[in-house]
Every structure is written in structure tokens, then in C-alpha cells.
Amino acid sequence: MALKLLLGLWIAAIIVVGITFPIVPVPQAWYEFPLIPGLENKARIMLFHVPMAWVTVLAFLISMGYGIRYLVKKNIDDDEKSAASAGLGLLFCVLATVTGAIWARFNWGAFWNWDPRQTSIFALLLIYGAYFALRSALDVEEKRAALSAAYAVIAGATVPFFIFVMPRLLPGLHPGSGGSGPLMGGTMNATLRIVFYASLAGFTALYFWMLNLRNRLAKLRTHHESVGG
Amino acid sequence: MKSGSSFAVRWLQATSAIFSKDIKSELRTRYALNALVMFVITTLSIILFALGGEAASSELMCGVLWIIIFFSTMSGMSRSFVSEEERGTVLTLQLMTRPSTVFFGKLFFNFVLLSGTNLLSIVLYLVLITNFVVRTPAIFIVVMLLGTMGLASACTIIAAIIAKANTKGTLYPVLSFPILLPLLLTVINGTLLSVEGAPFTEALEEVQILVSYFVVITAVSYLLFDYVWKD
């Protein structure tokens, strides 16, 4: 109970701080963010967009992990957890894509540019969609579990191609791709860094809390069904 | 137990037996072949009608070539596993053979089928689309070969997965497209380079990506195939 409240307050604090702390060219006071030339106030979305993208990848990896665990141990609970994580991953992927598109509209002029990173978040969205399409097409529980785990692993094998190979090869607009320098680099001062990492931690905790809720719900449901209620 | 023949020899015999069974049954019934050939011809005709005699840029036509190849792949390549389900021969295969022989036999069959289709697409494309001129044949051949290998590899495992599902036809492109995206982007880039006349050294990155894609996908599929194939 207390942890839930703490999480709620943490995220609320990040949102308030992210929106209200002033952005100045040369930060003097502890509560001022540095001005990144060209970005100004638009940089605030970085505090939310990057953690969402991070969580969606984390959710996918955890889903894949539970899938592999199912293939090895054949415990149907692992499959339930895999599906629960994938559902959350889909949610955060949609959020990351939308916030990214908003950023793209203000920075590069259009909502969608087929920049390699944009393409790869779109591909992740398609992978999640395909995962759930596959699950809905299979009736037998064991078959559904085995095949969706297999698909998650295959999709996982292609993810490194998207994340590491393509953005380095193809020129892109996204920070960190071919042309521009490293992602965050030296433009963050201590305050921004603290808030950014706090946001990262907050979103990760949010994801794990939601995953825990979904897992407990799934367990209750299977218990309910087996008892014959 | 056969004496004198090693495991490797027997494995190769089993794999080639599955491959020749698939090829022979395909040549007899020609289900997939007909579908693939007609699909290529139809799609190419539609594209020519849509262009209406105008010459689109050769960059655009590189992408269009791969649209044709991708969709013809989607229309015909799931046959290798779906036909087993339809004919009820899955249990027989599961009893008689090792999963790895089934996997590699069908992988090779898919590769041969896809090579034939792609060859047809390329020949028709070169003949009918006048401004599509390959200036560096070396890049084109290598990219096509590696691209076909990667396509066959990804399509085989996805076909094995959807063969057990309910809505096979529509599910196949849905599952395949995200997996194939890195391959398609790289291969279109490579084709672009070959049409522009770039030297082979510029295409080395693409070649590296295609080779690693093929190796990774084939290795992962081989490891997963046991779980997908067995009940």
C-alpha cells in the first residue's frame, strides 16, 4: 500500500518537475535545466519519451524470457506472465510511438519521417501486434504457449538488428544516429540528469507494478477456473 | 541399425529424402508453383498498368521489385508446412524423422522454390521495365542470393508456426513482415547500389548484414524448431 502511494507520488513529482522547472541558457540555481540549442522547451518530452521506449524494450525482453522459461519448464504460468508483459509492452510502445511522433512534428516538421529509430519502434509495434494475432488464432493452451514463445524468440533475434545495426548505417534525424553525436552527451547538467534517471526509475517501477497486478490477476483467474467457480 | 554409415550420412540422406519428396509432390501438383508464377505475372502487369507507359525513377523500381518478391513469397511459401497439415501427414513425419531433417529439408525446398520465383521476377523485370538497368551485376547477384537465403530461412520457421494456427493465410504476412523488415531494408539498399553502379566495396556493409541475418535466423529457427514441430 505504501509502495503504491510512493510510486504515485514519485511519478507525479517527475511530471510536475519536468514541466515546471525553467530552462535557461546557463543554469545557476539547482532547479534550472540547461538550454539545448534548437530544442528549448521541446526537450522536456525527453523525460517521458525515452523511459517509455526503454520500458517497451524491457517488457519485450521479459516477455521473451518468460517464453523461453515456458519452453524449458512447460509451466503454463510462465506463458501467462509472458502474455501479461507483452500486453504492457504494447501499451508503452504505443505511448513511445505517439510521444516520438509529437517530438518529430515539432522538431523535424512531420509526424512521421521513416527515420531508422522511428522505423524500428514501428517494427516493435508490428511485432507486438503479430504476437497477439498469433495468440488469438490458437485455441489449444499448450500450442498457444509454445508457438507464441517461439515467435517471441525469433522476433527477439531480429531486435538487435533494429536497435544497433540500422541506426548506425542509415542516416537519420533521431539523436544518436549516423549524423549527430551521442544521444545525451554533455548537454545535461546535474539537475536534468537526476530528473531523467528518476523518470527512468519511475517508469520501470510503474511497469513492474502493473506486471505484478496482471500476474496476480491471471493466477486468480486460473485458480477460479480450476476450482470450478 | 545400419552399420558402416555414420550419423552424418544418415542425416543427409533423411534431409534429402524430405527435400526430394517435397520437390516431387510440388512438380506433380504444381499448387505453389502455379500460385507463385501467376502472382508474379499479375503483380507485374498491375504495376505496368499503373505506370501507364511513364518511366518511374530506377530508385523507385528497386523498391517495387522487392514489393513483388515479398508479396509473391507471402502468397506461396507457407505451402511447405500447411500442405502437411492438410494432407494429414504430419504425424507420419513426426514419427519417422528427426525434426532437424524436416527443418533443413523444407528450408532447402523453400530456398529452391523461392530462387525459381525470384529468377522469374528478375528476368521479367529486366525485360519489361526499360529504365531498370543493373550497372554492377556483382552486387546485384550477391544481394539477390543472400536475400533469397534470408527470405527462405525466415519464411520456413514462420510457416512452421502458422501451420498449427487457425487463420493461416492472413496470419502469415502479419507474422513475417516484422521479422523480414531488416532484410528488406538492407536488400533494397543493396539493389539501389547495384543500379547506381557503385563499386562492390560500398555494398560490403549490406553483405555483412545479410550474411549475419541469415546465420542468426537459421540458427534460432533450428533451435526453436523442436518446440514448434512437436506436440
What mean pLDDT comes out for the span A67-96? 92
B228 to A162: CB separation less than 8 angstroms, yes or no: no
Question: What would the pLDDT profile of A186-218 be if each residue is shown by its tens digit?
Answer: 566 777 788 888 888 888 988 998 999 999 998
The rounded distance, in Å, linking the Cα atoms of B200 and B91 is 48
What pLDDT, on the 0 to 100 scale, is given for residue A15?
Answer: 81
Altogether, the residues listed in chain B come to a count of 231
Lowest-confidence segment of A120-129, A217-226, B179-188, B209-218 by average pLDDT: A217-226
What mean pLDDT comes out for the span B82-108? 86
CA A158 to chain centre: 17
Domain ranges of chain A: 2-227
Residue B173 has pLDDT above 80, yes or no: yes
Q: For chain B, what percent of residues have pLDDT higher than 90?
A: 37
The rounded distance, in Å, linking the Cα atoms of A193 and A216 is 35
Closest residue of chain A to B175, computed from CA coordinates: A130
- Our CA-based measurement puts residue B54 at a distance from the nearest CA of chain A, in whole angstroms, of 27
What radius of gyration, in Å, describes the C-alpha atoms of chain B? 19
Residue A36 has pLDDT above 60, yes or no: yes
Q: How many C-beta neighbours within 10 Å does residue A105 have?
A: 13
Average pLDDT, chain B: 87
- The answer to whether A127 faces chain B, any CB pair under 8 Å, is yes
- The answer to whether A90 faces chain B, any CB pair under 8 Å, is no
Which grid cell is A140?
Answer: 489449444
The rounded distance, in Å, linking the Cα atoms of B36 and A139 is 30
B174 to A129: CB separation less than 8 angstroms, yes or no: yes
SS3 call for A189: coil
- The answer to whether A155 faces chain B, any CB pair under 8 Å, is yes
What pLDDT, on the 0 to 100 scale, is given for residue A179?
Answer: 33
The backbone torsions φ and ψ at residue A34, rounded to the nearest 5 degrees and listed phi first, read -75, 155
- The answer to whether B54 faces chain A, any CB pair under 8 Å, is no
Interface of B with A in 99-138 (CB under 8 A): none
- The answer to whether A180 faces chain B, any CB pair under 8 Å, is no
Instruction: Name the pLDDT band for A169 (thresholds 50, 70, 90).
Output: low
Which residues are within 8 A (CB) of A45 and not within 5 positions of it... i.e. 6 or more apart? Answer: A99, A102, A103
The rounded distance, in Å, linking the Cα atoms of B206 and A169 is 9
Which residues are within 8 A (CB) of B43 and not within 5 positions of it... i.e. 6 or more apart? Answer: B67, B68, B71, B72
Q: For chain A, what percent of residues have pLDDT higher than 90?
A: 29
Q: Which residues on neighbouring strands pair with residue A33, listed in sequence order?
A: A23
Lowest-confidence segment of A32-41, A155-164, B34-43 by average pLDDT: A32-41
Helix axes A76-107, A141-160, angle to 10 degrees: 40
Which grid cell is A10?
Answer: 514519485
- Contact status, residue A89 vs residue A59, Cβ threshold 8 Å: yes
What pLDDT, on the 0 to 100 scale, is given for residue A87?
Answer: 93
Q: How many CA atoms lie within 13 A of A85 on its CB side?
A: 24
Chain B residues with CB-CB distance to A134 below 8 A: 161-162, 165, 171, 175
Residue B102 has pLDDT above 80, yes or no: yes
What radius of gyration, in Å, describes the C-alpha atoms of chain A? 20
Instruction: Name the pLDDT band for B229 (thresholds 50, 70, 90).
Output: confident
Instruction: Name the pLDDT band for B76 (thresholds 50, 70, 90).
Output: confident
Altogether, the residues listed in chain A come to a count of 229
Nearest CB among B157, B165, B182 relative to A166 is that of B182
User: Which of A146-155, A195-204, B20-29, B123-132 reaches the highest mean pLDDT?
Assistant: A146-155
Chain B residues with CB-CB distance to A142 below 8 A: 231
The rounded distance, in Å, linking the Cα atoms of B187 and B146 is 9
Nearest CB among B162, B178, B224 relative to A153 is that of B224
What pLDDT, on the 0 to 100 scale, is given for residue B103?
Answer: 92
Average pLDDT, chain A: 81
Residue B2 has pLDDT above 80, yes or no: no
Residue A147 has pLDDT above 90, yes or no: yes
Which grid cell is B217?
Answer: 535466423
Instruction: Name the pLDDT band for B112 (thresholds 50, 70, 90).
Output: very high
Residue B45 has pLDDT above 80, yes or no: yes
User: Which of A26-35, A148-157, A196-205, B83-92 reaches the highest mean pLDDT?
Assistant: A148-157
Q: Where are the beta strands (DSSP E) in A45-99?
A: none
Q: How many C-beta neighbours within 10 Å does residue B1 have?
A: 4
What mean pLDDT comes out for the span A10-14? 83
What pLDDT, on the 0 to 100 scale, is given for residue A141?
Answer: 87
Nearest CB among A129, A137, A157 relative to B220 is that of A157
The rounded distance, in Å, linking the Cα atoms of A96 and A52 is 5
Strand A23-24 relative to strand A33-34, pairing:
parallel
- Our CA-based measurement puts residue B34 at a distance from the nearest CA of chain A, in whole angstroms, of 28
Nearest to A162 by CA among A46, A86, A51, A53: A53
Nearest to B34 by CA among B152, B109, B113: B113
What pLDDT, on the 0 to 100 scale, is given for residue A181?
Answer: 33
Helix axes A141-160, B137-162, angle to 10 degrees: 160
- The answer to whether B164 faces chain A, any CB pair under 8 Å, is yes
- Contact status, residue A19 vs residue A195, Cβ threshold 8 Å: no
- The answer to whether B220 faces chain A, any CB pair under 8 Å, is yes
- Our CA-based measurement puts residue B124 at a distance from the nearest CA of chain A, in whole angstroms, of 30
What mean pLDDT comes out for the span B88-95? 84
- Our CA-based measurement puts residue A167 at a distance from the nearest CA of chain B, in whole angstroms, of 11
A154 to B179: CB separation less than 8 angstroms, yes or no: yes
Nearest CB among B175, B217, B231 relative to A157 is that of B217
Helices (H), ranges, chain B = 7-29, 31-51, 58-76, 79-87, 90-96, 99-128, 137-162, 168-196, 204-229
Complex ipTM, two decimals?
A: 0.88
Instruction: Name the pLDDT band for A120 (thresholds 50, 70, 90).
Output: confident
| CA-CA-CA-CA torsion sign (B210, B216, B222, B228) | negative
Nearest to A62 by CA among A47, A50, A80: A80
Residue A41 has pLDDT above 80, yes or no: no
- Better-predicted residue by pLDDT, B206 or A92: A92
Q: Report the residue of B189, B217, B224 to disrupt the A interface, i.e. the one with the largest count of A CBs within 10 Å.
A: B224
- The answer to whether B231 faces chain A, any CB pair under 8 Å, is yes
Helices (H), ranges, A108-140 = 116-136
- Better-predicted residue by pLDDT, A227 or B28: B28
- Contact status, residue B43 vs residue B64, Cβ threshold 8 Å: no
The rounded distance, in Å, linking the Cα atoms of A39 and A25 is 12
Helix axes B99-128, B31-51, angle to 10 degrees: 30
The rounded distance, in Å, linking the Cα atoms of A72 and A65 is 11
Domain ranges of chain B: 7-229
What pLDDT, on the 0 to 100 scale, is given for residue A94?
Answer: 94
- The answer to whether A138 faces chain B, any CB pair under 8 Å, is yes
Residue B152 has pLDDT above 90, yes or no: yes
What pLDDT, on the 0 to 100 scale, is given for residue A226?
Answer: 80
B157 to A154: CB separation less than 8 angstroms, yes or no: yes
What mean pLDDT comes out for the span B206-220? 92
What pLDDT, on the 0 to 100 scale, is given for residue A167?
Answer: 61
- Contact status, residue A96 vs residue A49, Cβ threshold 8 Å: yes
Chain B residues with CB-CB distance to A153 below 8 A: 220, 224
What mean pLDDT comes out for the span A100-107? 84
